[in-house]
Structure 1
Amino acid sequence: MSEPGPIERELHDTLASAFAPLRLEVTNDSAKHHGHAGDDGSGESHFSVLIESAAFAGQSRLKRQRLVNEILGDLPGQRIHALSVKALAPGEEA
């Protein structure tokens, strides 16, 4: 397993700081998209995030997505081509 790159580390650290998650998994999916649209050759263009935090309790799926995107600022859409997010409240299954 390779060391996380700077964007992966930034994703992880930003989400960890903002949401104090019980569980946080950041997966670099970029290799699966090599040569496809959005592959900028950096090796850090596509990510999946699974985050479980009390901050999402009572929030709709859309509101959770908006909260995550708000915290990440210019990462999605600017520095990351694709970001898949599963945001869960404590006790919810992925």
Structure 2
Amino acid sequence: MPDPATIGTPTRKRYRFREYHVTAVVDPMTLPTFSVVCVTGEDHDCGATSGELHAEGELTRWIAEHCAQTGHDFYHRTTRATLRAEPGAWQ
């Protein structure tokens, strides 16, 4: 049975966390993925997107073509790669 003197009293608990060291390594068996979104515009962004491309040259070509057609010159670029975690030691 709980002690009536401690009912409603906040309790403190101390948690200790260990740090786990992991090295993230790009998986050489997969291709990186690039994409770009046009963010040119005063009231709202254009929003045109290149879709996922696997070469920076393709990305540059898409930007050049979109810029030539619209005159837009600001873009957000995203680069994605598949990573493999290599576990390290607990600290």
Fold match, TM over 0.5? no
Larger Rg, first or second structure (1 or 2) = 2
With the length of structure 2 as denominator, give the TM-score of the two structures. 0.27
Higher relative contact order by CA 8 Å / sep ≥ 6: 1 or 2? Answer: 2
With the length of structure 1 as denominator, give the TM-score of the two structures. 0.27
